[in-house]
Amino acid sequence: MKNKKFILLIITFVLLVLLVAFCLQANSWIIPQYGTADTQLFLKINGLHHAFFDPIMYALSSKLFWIPFYAALIWWMWKRFGKQVLWVLLFVALMITSADRISSGILKNSVKRLRPSHEMALSSQIHLSKAGPGGNYGFVSSHATNCFSLSLFLWMVLPAKDRNLKIVILFWAIFVSYSRIYNGVHYPLDVFFGGLIGTLIGLTFGQLYQLFFPNQKI
């Protein structure tokens, strides 16, 4: 069983490396071939803004807004599973650091695709939240990468009886990622590939956790 888990870990890691390498070539054919459709879809989603949803979508994208959510999640796991949570938090810290380095440190600075909020040709058509236009580059979305990595990691390490919590966290990742398009700072492809990369990162660290703690699910 341990050998099978190790093989799955290697396969997932290789897929992650291949996907990152693929995304590094985004300027070669992904963006030229699908960029127009991506922009049109972005404008449709961003154009759905409404006074009622604007503050909600702003909050979904705000890191500070989610601090109580993270604190409650940590408290719940600590109360239920004790000191094992410390190992989980270590894995999460390493995972989010890796996710952020891949999305922001490698891909954004290599692909250098301008966010829609920095495209002069779109400036008159975009609705931005009060958070503003964000940094210059947007491929891939760090929010999507980080949220999906955490979601898939917890999906793997939490026991089956916590299915409802897993679903909540998965929808959290989806809504946060969607908010990045709604708020005008990411194209759909930025979010899509960010989510894919985050999924593979989460699976990689989840499988790594299971190898270190084969008999312990928090």
State pLDDT tens for residues 198-215. 999 999 999 999 999 887
Segment among 96-105, 116-125, 187-196 with least mean pLDDT: 116-125
CB 177 within 8 A of CB 127: no
pLDDT (tens digit, 9 = 90+) per residue, 172-186?
A: 999 999 999 999 999
Using 50, 70 and 90 to split pLDDT, how confident is the model at 218? low
Fold classified for 2-212: Vanadium-containing Chloroperoxidase; domain 1 (1.20.144)
CA-wise closest residue to 147 among 179, 116, 117, 115: 179
Q: What is the pLDDT of residue 123?
A: 85
pLDDT (tens digit, 9 = 90+) per residue, 129-168?
A: 888 899 999 999 999 999 999 999 999 998 888 899 999 9
Cα→Cα distances 88→49, 84, 93, 113, 198, Å: 38, 7, 9, 34, 17
Mean pLDDT value of segment 58-82:
89
**Token couple for 40:** 């049109």
Looking at per-residue pLDDT, the higher value among 20 and 217 belongs to: 20
Q: What is the pLDDT of residue 67?
A: 93
Cα→Cα distances 152→9, 43, 200, 211, Å: 14, 29, 8, 16
Q: What is the pLDDT of residue 217?
A: 57
Mean pLDDT value of segment 114-143:
93
Q: What is the pLDDT of residue 132?
A: 87
pLDDT (tens digit, 9 = 90+) per residue, 37-57?
A: 999 999 999 999 888 999 999
